[in-house]
Amino acid sequence: MKVVIAGAGTVGFETARQLIEEKRDVVLVERNLVRAKHASSHLDCMVITDEATNPDALRKAGGDDISHFIAVTDSDEVNLVTCGMARGLFPASRTIARVRNLHYAKATYHGEPFLGVNYVVTPEVEAARQILDTILHGAVSDVLRFEGTDIQLWNTPVERRSPFRNRKLAQLRKEVPEPFLVAGIVRNEETIIPSGNTVIREGDRLYLAGTEATLQRLFTHAGRKQRRIERILLVGAGKVGAYVVKFLAPHPFHLTIVESNAEKCKAISTTYPDTLVLCGDISDESLLQDERLDRYDLVVAATGDQELNILSAVYARSLGVKRTMALVDNANYLRVASQLEIDSTISPKAGSVDAILKYLRKGTVKTMYSIFDGTAEVIEYVIGPESPVSGKAIMHAGLPADTLVVAVVRDGTDIMPHGAFTLKAGDTVIVIAKRSSISRMETLFGGAA
């Protein structure tokens, strides 16, 4: 399978990196010389320095075996046009475009997708939906949800006073009478798929799997009790923030918005007259003193400035705000934010990469999330009738060593399986795996469902 990607920015680069680690044949087309050189020196793939709208460049990148063309440049128009060109040059390929303008995203021509685009990724909308979902679950953690099951994945840092600190997983499972699983650990930027003998250390970040009710009790046990959220301060009413306001509107929250752009303030006030809009800069000390941040249950920092988002979230926490969220895209900033007292970080670009990869693997894959800075994935598979794992116990299914079956859904029942559990065709399984094992996982769980 050859994949051609137009645009070597963060989304294009990260999508290419992850596909290359899965042994896919990738070609990047990037007009910016600096970006092209960076991609060429850091990725094991062909990089063409040219305009994505140049047919000769696309012909050079392509061939008869192109399966997917992905356009993720900074321009919606370029992404749509290049996808249309790719469909003409490579009729058998599937096309994916990142589009921020919803008018383009929803456009059709004679009932067909606009310019023949098979799949549209809208990062700001997906980020806003993730923010809403996290708020509805108490904003105690990033929340990874899966289709048709109540099993979720939450993460939490292990602090000095945490009851998880210095415990073996096997010991912890005996001490805590809850059906849960430690699905993964991040320690000093290293990804660990744990076993029963793994010891949890201070500074670790745990990924816990279980039902929502179970995870709420676990977080309460760990000193991160879920609090009722009523008053929300949203910082920034740009592309993501505007969608957040729209998605929050039907819910009974008391929402206040801080936005520095007067036109955006006027537009929000006109559309949502019952919402308090403060036209000012969140860094203005007098505004913060007048508004008294400690009255809020949650501060969501969603401006276009990720440094400001991190600082705003940390500052709000220092003033007594119970929960904070920040919109962050830079991978290094995401790592920094995970070490600070920020309850949840949302990345539109990471969400775009996840959406693209999920589309590429559609069929047996229902849901997919990249975690651990893209070094691992949580994937929801449906076991097909021809799958090699059907009829086998998990311990005998031939799964790679760095993978873990987190949960199985059978006939609507959520199961936290043990090694002797026998998998069957039609089961939905949630698996966490390191990137190097993804191709093997697709082979094992493949087959028409």
Q: Do domains 126-135+229-350 and 145-221 have the same CATH topology?
A: no
pLDDT of residue 449: 41
SS (H, E, C) 175-192: HCCCCCEEEEEEECCEEE
DSSP lists the bridge partners of residue 192 as 185
Indicate the fold that domain 360-445 takes in CATH: Alpha-Beta Plaits (3.30.70)
Q: What is the pLDDT of residues 40-84, one digit of tens each?
A: 999 999 999 999 999 999 999 977 778 999 999 999 999 999 999
158 vs 206: CA distance, rounded Å: 7
Mean pLDDT per 10-residue interval, the chain, length 449 residues = 92 93 91 96 95 92 85 94 90 90 62 72 89 79 78 84 87 82 85 87 88 84 73 92 93 93 93 90 72 86 92 87 88 74 85 87 75 80 88 92 89 89 92 84 69
Read off the pLDDT of residues 305-318 as tens digits, 9 standing for 90 and up. 999 999 999 988 88
Q: Which residues contact 280 (CB under 8 A, 6 or more apart)?
A: 258, 260, 287
Q: Using alpha carbons, list the distances in angstroms from residue 217 to 22, 176, 194, 396.
A: 37, 10, 22, 33
Which amino acid appears at position 415 of this protein? I
Dig out the tokens for 305 from the structure: 């400035």
Say if residues 69 and 46 touch (Cβ distance below 8 Å). no
> What pLDDT is stored for residue 188 in this prediction?
82
Tally of CA atoms within 13 A in the half-sphere of 328 that contains its CB: 25
CATH level 2 (architecture), domain 2-121: 3-Layer(aba) Sandwich (3.40)
Predicted local confidence at residue 367, as pLDDT: 81
pLDDT at 110: 42
- The CATH class that applies to domain 145-221 reads alpha beta
pTM, to two decimals:
0.75
Annotated domain spans of the chain: 2-121, 126-135+229-350, 145-221, 360-445
pLDDT of residue 447: 53
Q: How many Å separate Cα 2 from the centre of its chain?
A: 24
Chain centre distance of CA 190: 19
CATH of the domain spanning 126-135+229-350: 3.40.50.720
- Which tokens in the block code for residue 96? 């994916």
